[in-house]
Amino acid sequence: MKTGVGYRRELSAWLATKPRGVDCLEITAEHFFHGGVEHLAALAKKLPLFVHGLGLSLGTPGALDKKILEQFARVVSLAQPEWISDHIAFTRTAEVDLGHLNPIPPTREMLKIISDHVREVSDRCGKPMLLENITSHVQLAGDLRETDFLNGLCERAGCKLLLDVTNLFINSRNHGFDARQWLREIQPSNIVQLHIVGYSRHGSRYTDSHAAPIQDELIELAREVVRHAPVQAVILERDEDFPDVAGLEIEVAKLQRIRDGN
Amino acid sequence: MTEIDFITAFARLLRDGKLRKVFAANPEAAARQVHLREADLPSWMQLIPADVEFQADVLLRKRLDLVKLFTPETCRRLGEKLWPTFRSFARENWPPENAANFFDAYQFCERLKQQQSGSVVAVEWNRLRFAFSKCRLAFHSVRMPDARRRTRRGLQFFLRGRGCQWGEYFFYVSW
């Protein structure tokens, strides 16, 4: 299993030192839509890359945004990742760009919409696609259980899951369900990659600020996933309040603990 | 009137503070207002207003993060009032898609100036105004901190090329 980090400019000096425990990088496709081609090529020479999208808006009914798809495909072509990923979510509609990930209802209709979009992206990019679970403060009802929806999506779209352990934990706390039971309902072979970062608290709510050290309860949950599923990579997804080098090394060591199960 | 699907209606709910008020008081009335298709009404009725409001705030905080990139000093000056002030402005004003973040910052500063809060930093406001003008050239006498964080008087100078590209220059005129 590979361990790595989500690439952010703030981490570039540290990554240049070839830190132990970082044997892959996940880049955010949108960060390279308007430039940075040489930089991307240089990264691709150093480490295996995964390409992660934020804005394909796979849950929007209707056609995918062709311009965004082409920009995404261009980044994939430069990075040559083993796989690509985006979220089980929508960020925009024909009327408005909300600028962030929002939940979709687990319905048969949505299953078809997202499956069709995943197939289109995967065909255009020539790469297998993973889908990531998001956090949402709204729990949407549908005619399927969330876990049945996710298993159905993998089967119908021919994709796998990027399980964000932190998002699962946060949703389980905010919406009052058992994360371990949720995991048992997911077909293990569907889980290929993990995201993890510490959660934050906002009053009684848990939030995914991407700004905190990984807590022990998340490490425990991630270990359980690793015992349960053929995970091939785990990525630290820190976006804010970056720690110093010693702090980063501590976070990477936590990924190794998840991988090694100790 | 054409009926709309759940995702389109939900997106409207998340961006429009006035619609959320209607929804909190009477979800069916809000569904009629947006012409939600009948088949999606059960999903709509199960939405919890407090959760929708929290999710909408998540989106507003993302917007504020981007506005801060263009108006860091103005936002710093607002201190603890920043979030409530921005939230009050942004709940009912969603920027158009093109140049959304820059325009959001412009409109936010415009609102602050209307409120005469005194928090808008001239250097940032001049930059936003120039970006949305068609002027080829503009200059302003301003006070701004130098590399040693000492506030000095200077000349802020903008020049637009033939395309949309423009540059900003600053000359200190006092020690």
Q: Is A158 a residue whose pLDDT tops 70?
A: yes
Asked whether residue B98 falls in the same domain as residue B164, the answer is: no
What is the total count of domains within chain B?
3
**CB contact, 8 Å: A99 with chain B?**
yes
Q: Is B167 a residue whose pLDDT tops 80?
A: yes
Q: Which residue of A has its CA nearest to B14?
A: A98
For residue A104, the chain B residues in CB contact (below 8 A) are 7
Q: How far is CA A170 from CA A109, A202, A224, A239, B152, in A?
A: 26, 12, 16, 17, 48
> pLDDT category, A57, cuts 50, 70, 90?
very high
Asked whether residue B24 falls in the same domain as residue B95, the answer is: no
Which fold does the domain A2-260 belong to in CATH?
Answer: TIM Barrel (3.20.20)
Average pLDDT of span B37-56 = 95
CA distance A224 to A258: 9
Give the residue numbers spanning the domain of B38.
1-47
Q: Is B144 a residue whose pLDDT tops 90?
A: no
Provide the percentage of residues in chain A whose pLDDT is more than 90: 94
Write out the DSSP string of B130-166. Answer: HHTS--SEEEEEEEEE-TTS-EEEEEEEEEE-SSS-E
For residue A141, the chain B residues in CB contact (below 8 A) are 42-43, 46
Q: State chain B's mean pLDDT as an integer.
A: 91
Dihedral (C-alpha) B94, B96, B100, B103: value to the nearest 10 degrees? -80
- The whole-number pLDDT of residue B171 equals 87
> pLDDT category, A122, cuts 50, 70, 90?
very high
Phi, psi of B140 (to 5 degrees): -140, 140
| Lowest mean pLDDT across A209-218, A235-244, B130-139 | B130-139
Asked whether residue B116 falls in the same domain as residue B163, the answer is: no
Summarize pLDDT for B6-46 with one digit per residue, the tens. 999 999 999 999 999 999 999 999 999 999 999 999 999 99
Q: Could you give the ipTM of this predicted complex? A: 0.92
The residue assigned the tokens 């991307």 is: A40
- The whole-number pLDDT of residue A218 equals 97
Cross-chain Cβ contact A96/B97 below 8 Å: yes
CA distance B61 to A3: 31
Cross-strand bridge partners of residue A73: none
For residue A200, the chain B residues in CB contact (below 8 A) are none
Give residues with Cβ within 8 angstroms of B102, minimum separation 6. B70, B128, B131, B132
> pLDDT category, B145, cuts 50, 70, 90?
confident
**CB contact, 8 Å: B93 with chain A?**
no
- The whole-number pLDDT of residue A66 equals 96
Asked whether residue B70 falls in the same domain as residue B128, the answer is: yes
Please give the span between the terminal C-alpha atoms of chain B, in angstroms, as a whole number: 65
User: What ranges make up the beta strands (E) of A90-137?
Assistant: 90-92, 97-102, 129-132
If DSSP codes are grouped into helix, strand and coil, which group holds residue A215?
Answer: coil
**CB contact, 8 Å: B51 with chain A?**
yes
Summarize pLDDT for A65-103 with one digit per residue, the tens. 999 999 999 999 999 999 999 999 999 999 999 999 999
- The whole-number pLDDT of residue A135 equals 96
Residue A198: closest CA among A228, A169, A229, A232:
A169
Residues 63-82 on B with a CB inside 8 Å of A are 63, 66
Cross-chain Cβ contact A102/B14 below 8 Å: yes
- The whole-number pLDDT of residue B98 equals 58
Other CB atoms within 10 A of residue A70 CB: 11
Asked whether residue B126 falls in the same domain as residue B72, the answer is: yes
For residue A142, the chain B residues in CB contact (below 8 A) are 43
Asked whether residue B3 falls in the same domain as residue B40, the answer is: yes
For residue B11, the chain A residues in CB contact (below 8 A) are 90, 92-93, 95-96, 98, 102
Q: Which of B53, B58, B62 is the best mutation test for A, with the most CBs of A within 10 A? A: B58
Give residues with Cβ within 8 angstroms of A125, minimum separation 6. A72, A73, A76, A77, A84
Q: Which residue of A has its CA nearest to B9?
A: A93
- The whole-number pLDDT of residue B175 equals 60
Q: How many CA atoms lie within 13 A of A71 on its CB side?
A: 19
* Ramachandran area for residue A218 (φ above 0: left; ψ -120 to 50: alpha; else beta): alpha
**CB contact, 8 Å: A53 with chain B?**
no
CA distance A164 to B142: 48
**CB contact, 8 Å: B10 with chain A?**
yes
CA distance A16 to A244: 14
> pLDDT category, B95, cuts 50, 70, 90?
confident
Summarize pLDDT for A221-232 with one digit per residue, the tens. 999 999 999 999
Asked whether residue B140 falls in the same domain as residue B77, the answer is: no
Give the β-pairing of A90-92 and A97-102.
antiparallel
